[in-house]
Amino acid sequence: MKICPVCSTEYADDVRFCPNDGQTLRSSGPAHDLVNQIIADRYHVVRKLGEGGMGQVYLAEHVKMGRKSAIKVLNPAMVNDPDAVARFNREAANASRISHPNVCSIYDFGETPEGLIYLAMEFVEGEPLTDMLGREASLPTPRAAAIFLQVADALQAAHDLGIVHRDLKPDNIMLARARDGSDVVKVVDFGIAKAVGGGDSQKVTKTGLVVGTPEFMSPEQLAGDKLDGRSDLYALALVLFKMLTGQLPFAGETAQDTMVKRLMDDPATLAAVRPDRAFPPGLQATLDAALTRNPAERVRPETARAAASVAVGRGRRRDRPRGRGNGARAPRREAGCGPRADSTRAGPVAGPADMGTAPAGMRSARGIPQRPPGRSRSKVTPGQLAGSRIDVTRAKELLDTLFLNQLQPKTAHMVRDSAGALFNAPGISRRDQAYAAFVIGMTHLIDQPDRDHAKGCLWLRRAAQLDSAAAKYPQLANQAQCPP
């Protein structure tokens, strides 16, 4: 039921304006579903496109111009959350400054008299790159390169304005189709983007925390260091690798495996992951340059230059392909040009800011991933457990936090103290005790400046003895080149 704010006459939900005085009708009560409602006197909500933790996304039409928009509405429960509101403001302010065909346009942003905070943006018929990769696993090189080039152009437009995206991933790359069937990219969700050199108004996270999606974060972002366009370039290289192979170059069966690989291994090569495919000459060299751990050594920091390298690597000029490659045609699906509101994937997560530098002989020690998506976050900090009473029923949760969130070269000794307290806690299970021994071993392997390979191997072997059913500990010990 709707009501006229002037004459108070009630009307059915399908009526938009009061026939007596022409006023826009409003809902007569709190509306959890905004379908058939009018937002801000100008956006008629047609249907819901999806929803997520921060709110809902609707398809709407401008009541006078008839233009379709995707309306993102902040969850009413978050209206009083300054961080959530700041992220909404950030997305509106940053994305609206970028005028580029491969960046989702922002039309409007505001708050209604009823306290509804909304963001009106370009509506596109398409799907996220995540859905395409879920359906097709990997893409032909020309198609992947064409998508890469468009994303690179979009990022370069942002970088030219001093804006770093900070959360580039397949979920934030929307794909529509041009008339000739080729892919048209829209980069979305500048909600955690940050203007380089921005003042306090650009701070939307708590002090000492970084945001992003761990699988696609650069080492310097994980470290909480100052970011520039080279961080986005690193993430874009990971996206390209995934498009070409269906995997990331630091793949592991478990979060622990991935952690160790990123601590001790170089990124996998295209040929190693997909030996069945032939890749253009120069493409691997471009990826290697973009995936260099140290941003100071990361060649071609300008995204457009890196994109040109990919274009050269695939042996084509930087123009869009006329076709869609060998991939199947995607089903035509209407979606808002914004982050997937209907996604159940975890959003940006927080992590420690002080990651330190890799010790001698240990490669990529700063490339430590955060906790896996969806894992609950504990309040434990390194060293906190030493000397305190421990709830052994939470041992795995606490160890997960220490290993996946807190373990860094500069904090290894504090993590070791906490893991040691758990290892010696009365009543701890052998399985959890083995996990604690593993964490202690890893602290010795990456400690800075007191790395002790022998002690690290000793503790890894102890973990294998305590949990003999777990094959991962002997495998990890072998990977760390521990003697039998």
Place of tokens 């995206």: 165
**CATH of 31-124 given 3.40.640.10, 3.30.300.340, 3.55.50.30, 3.30.200.20:** 3.30.200.20
Q: Among 116-130, 219-233, 237-251, which stretch is predicted with the lowest mean pLDDT?
A: 219-233
φ, ψ of residue 433 to 5 degrees: the values are -65, -35
Query: Does the domain made of 126-196+209-336 have the CATH classification 1.10.510.10?
Result: yes
pLDDT over 50 at 330, yes or no: no
Residue 382 has pLDDT above 60, yes or no: no
- Residue 116: closest CA among 71, 175, 161: 71
Looking at the whole model, is its pTM more than 0.75? no
Mean pLDDT of 341-370: 32
Angle between the N-to-C axes of helices 430-446 and 472-479, in degrees from 0 to 180, rounded to the nearest 10: 10
Helix, strand, or coil (residue 245) = helix
Q: What is the mean pLDDT of residues 18-27?
A: 65
56-65, 291-300, 309-318, 441-450, range with greatest mean pLDDT: 56-65
Reported confidence tier of residue 377, pLDDT bands at 50, 70, 90: very low
Predicted confidence (pLDDT) at residue 143 exceeds the cutoff of 80: yes
Q: Which amino acid is at 453?
A: H
CA–CA separation, 212 vs 218, rounded Å? 9
Q: Could you tell me what percent of the chain has a pLDDT over 90?
A: 22
Q: Print burial letters for 51-83: b (CB count within 10 Å at least 16), e (below 16).
A: bbebbbbbbbbeeeeeebbbbbbbeeebeeeee
**Residue whose entry in the numeric block shows the structure tokens 């979606």:** 335
pLDDT at position 223, please?
Answer: 65
Per-residue pLDDT band for 110 (boundaries 50, 70, 90) equals confident
Confidence of residue 357 (pLDDT cuts 50, 70, 90): very low
pLDDT digits (tens, 9 = 90+) for 435-466: 999 999 988 988 777 889 899 999 999 999 99
| DSSP-assigned beta bridge partners for residue 17 | 24
Tell me which residues are annotated as active site.
167
The domain segmentation of the chain, as residue ranges, is 1-30, 31-124, 126-196+209-336, 379-479
Average pLDDT over residues 52-70: 85
pLDDT of 345 > 50? The answer is: no
Q: pLDDT band for position 360 (50/70/90)? A: very low
pLDDT value at 185 more than 90: yes
* pLDDT of 121 higher than 80: yes
User: Which of 191-205, 305-319, 349-363, 371-385 is predicted most confidently?
Assistant: 305-319
How far is CA 91 from each of CA 43, 73, 98, 202, rounded to the nearest angstrom? 20, 13, 11, 11
- CATH 1.10.10 corresponds to the domain 379-479: no
Residue 336: per-residue pLDDT: 57
| Overall average pLDDT of the 410-439 stretch | 90
Give me the pLDDT at residue 6, please. Answer: 58
Cis peptide before 449 (omega within 30 of 0): yes
Strands 173-177 and 43-51: unpaired
13: pLDDT strictly greater than 90: no
Give the lowest-confidence range in 137-146, 202-211, 429-438, 473-482.
202-211
Beta strand 163-164 with 117-125 is: unpaired
Reported confidence tier of residue 55, pLDDT bands at 50, 70, 90? confident
Alpha helices in 201-294 (DSSP H): 219-222, 229-245, 255-264, 270-273, 283-290
pLDDT at 21: 67
Question: Which range (77-86, 212-221, 250-259, 353-362) has the least confidence?
Answer: 353-362
| pLDDT tens, position by position, 266-306 | 889 999 999 999 888 778 888 888 888 788 777 554 554 55
Is pLDDT of 52 > 70?
A: no
Of 177-191, 338-352, 364-378, highest mean pLDDT: 177-191
